[in-house]
Amino acid sequence: MAWIFHRSPQLWSAVRHLSPHRTISFTPTTRLPPADLHGLFLTWRSGQSEASCRKLHSGAGMSEPSPAAAPERLPFSQVTQEDLVFFKKILPGRTITDPDLLESSNVDWLKTVRGSSEVLLRPQTTEEVSQILSYCNSRNLAVNPQGGNTGLVGGSVPVYDEIILSTALMNNILTFDRISGILTCQAGCVLENLSLYLEERDYIMPLDLGAKGSCHIGGNVATNAGGLRLLRYGSLRGTVLGLEVVLADGRVLDCLATLRKDNTGYDLKQLFIGSEGTLGFITAVSILCPRKPKSVNVIFLGCETFEQLLQTFQLCRGMLGEILSAFEFLDSECMRLLVTHLKLPNPITECPFYVVIETSGSDPTHDQQKLHNFLEEAMASSLVSDGTVATEDSKIKTLWSMRERVTEALTHEGFTYKYDISLPVERIYQLVTDMRTHLGGRAKSVVGYGHVGDGNLHLNITSPAKDPALLAAIEPFIYEWTASCQGSISAEHGLGLKKRNYIYYSKPSQAVALMGNIKAMLDPKGILNPYKTLPDKLK
């Protein structure tokens, strides 16, 4: 299936001829599950409990929750014994109150936000979710919808004592149509399990994240997850064909269509995609899945300047065309951390910028030829300084890990301030450069990596420990800089708890006011995922 590079010796000679002083190395690599939301989730494994999946280096700056980030508790009711009796009747054996069992659901994956919920509910059916929400709404009890709890903005854990309503036991695949490639499943299906199911049937999921071993498809949809295949297959707004959603008052909204086209009225499912569980509880999803590519290849290149990297991207889009499936980058600071902390060897000579390019196509020979032509042109134009091609399908892993493990390397630096910025692609690295200048010696390191193809920068700033003075230097500078370029202060992570009040940097007050109206219409008591997504005060 994979492109075997040594079958194409002419590329070797072409590249040697063009760049006799440069080397093309051939790293024996294996194919990794492609990178995550931004490379954070490294050790998730399917089938493990959430707690056992968390294996992140505990850096010096691993912080306790910051109460300052949360607004005052809203006047929701508190859970009573009578409430528990009701829940246990609906969900016998699936109403969890043991604090130890609740711990992993009360804390987010980054361990920066902690709630104090005393009840975790694990429904199995839409009807159960409906009964629970109807009851909670009538009792004015706040509810925190939770999938795999892999979010990065504090959106997936309670802030106070909200009831945690988990999709963990809603994990049935409902239907799969082998002709159309349309899958329907319950919201709690783990992304990796869906991927494995589909691959056996010659299809793939249209999204892929490093968190796939834990994240739930319902959570992916609720957060409009991006990930690594967006460049090729587009966003969930196009690939999700239908949703079943339970509204705050328990009404079931059945929009679980399995049609590529349906223009009968307003597309209500779009309201719930990316609304982070604040408008409804997604119970089932239908999604259009692409055919499994017959050929996947990865190359790792070095560029001297970001301008050359952008030119390489343009060349790549023209010459690789329809087979280009990822174009990711990391800077030399990322590489330094990978080498220093994780002892990963740099597969090529040192460069200011590194690129991971993936192709996915239906004809291995054609893909090889296109890659050959592209590399020849990129070397001839001196756009790239050095490069490595993963030659075997089973060994692409090492190259992908250079991109995927940056976040793990970052955790060894101490405390990390993390930003997920969307910008016009030609501006994405300027923010890193400007931030370095702006911060001077205050930060330990300022690193940039991300999805070039999507104009999505992951900017991370480290310090030995949590540093309020450093934070004050970063914010609002970074948000103002982003706003000045009409960028987004959250490209794919959402707003959650942490970023809800920064929404005005990316959305005008008219828009935020309208969002507030929609929230009030769908959840008048505000019980669904309170303190998230929308700002504390409307302008």
Q: Is 455 in the site for a second copy (CB under 8 A)?
A: yes
Q: Which amino acid is at 397?
A: K
Q: Is 257 in the site for a second copy (CB under 8 A)?
A: yes
Q: Is 268 in the site for a second copy (CB under 8 A)?
A: yes
Integer Cα distance of 503 and 494 in angstroms: 10
From 6-14, 209-217, 274-282, 460-468, span contacting a second copy (CB under 8 A): 274-282
The number of beta carbons lying within 10 Å of the beta carbon of residue 449 is 29
Q: Is 488 in the site for a second copy (CB under 8 A)?
A: yes
Q: Is 152 in the site for a second copy (CB under 8 A)?
A: no
- Phi/psi for 263 (5° steps) reads -110, 50
Residue showing tokens 């194919």: 31
Residue 24 or 515 having the CB closest to a second copy: 515
Q: Is 511 in the site for a second copy (CB under 8 A)?
A: yes
From 137-145, 237-245, 345-353, 402-410, span contacting a second copy (CB under 8 A): 237-245
Residue 77 or 175 having the CB closest to a second copy: 175
Q: Is 370 in the site for a second copy (CB under 8 A)?
A: yes
Site for a second copy in 350-369 (CB under 8 A): 360-363, 366, 369
Site for a second copy in 435-454 (CB under 8 A): 451, 454
Site for a second copy in 8-67 (CB under 8 A): none
Residue 235 or 388 having the CB closest to a second copy: 235
Angle of helix 428-439 versus helix 477-484 axis, rounded to 10: 150
Q: Is 340 in the site for a second copy (CB under 8 A)?
A: no
Site for a second copy in 284-303 (CB under 8 A): 291, 293-294
Q: Kind of pairing, strands 295-303 and 353-361?
A: antiparallel
Q: Is 490 in the site for a second copy (CB under 8 A)?
A: yes
> How far are the Cα atoms of 1, 32, 205, 216, 287 from residue 181, in angstroms, in the given order?
21, 24, 10, 20, 8
Q: Is 326 in the site for a second copy (CB under 8 A)?
A: no
The number of beta carbons lying within 10 Å of the beta carbon of residue 280 is 26
- How far does CA 116 lie from the centroid of its chain? 25
Q: Which amino acid is at 448?
A: G
Residue 170 or 534 having the CB closest to a second copy: 534
Q: What is the DSSP string of 216-274?
A: BHHHHHHTT---SSHHHH--HHHHEEEEEEE-TTS-EEEE----S---SS--THHHHTT
Least distance from C-beta 515 to a second copy, angstroms?
Answer: 5
Q: Is 493 in the site for a second copy (CB under 8 A)?
A: yes
Least distance from C-beta 3 to a second copy, angstroms?
Answer: 14
Candidate list 103, 426, 480, 536; residue touching a second copy; CB under 8 A: 426
Candidate list 147, 226, 347, 414; residue touching a second copy; CB under 8 A: 226
* 157 token code pair: 């854990």
> For the purposes of burial, counting CB atoms within 10 Å of the CB of 57, is it exposed (0-12), middle (13-18) or buried (19 or more)?
middle
From 161-169, 336-344, 436-444, 485-493, span contacting a second copy (CB under 8 A): 485-493
Task: Spell out the residues 6+ positions from residue 89 whose beta carbon is closer than 8 angstroms to its own.
Answer: none
Q: Which amino acid is at 251?
A: R
Candidate list 323, 338, 443, 459; residue touching a second copy; CB under 8 A: 323
Candidate list 121, 207, 230, 357; residue touching a second copy; CB under 8 A: 230
Per-residue x/- marks for a second copy, 157-196, CB under 8 A? --------------------x-xx----------------
Residue 87 or 479 having the CB closest to a second copy: 479
Q: Is 253 in the site for a second copy (CB under 8 A)?
A: yes
What's the alpha-carbon Rg for the chain, to the nearest Å? 23
Candidate list 28, 47, 99, 234; residue touching a second copy; CB under 8 A: 234
Least distance from C-beta 182 to a second copy, angstroms?
Answer: 8
Residue 310 or 348 having the CB closest to a second copy: 310
> Taken in order 312, 314, 317, 320, is the CA torsion positive or negative?
negative
Candidate list 193, 385, 456, 462; residue touching a second copy; CB under 8 A: 456
Q: Is 317 in the site for a second copy (CB under 8 A)?
A: yes
> How far are the Cα atoms of 43, 124, 276, 362 from residue 149, in angstroms, in the given order?
14, 18, 12, 35
Query: 429-440 b/e with 16+ CB inside 10 Å = b?
Result: bebbeebbebbe
From 27-35, 60-68, 271-279, 328-336, span contacting a second copy (CB under 8 A): 271-279
Tell me which residue of 429, 426, 431, 408 sits closest to 332, measured CA to CA. 429
Contact 243, 219 (CB under 8 A): no
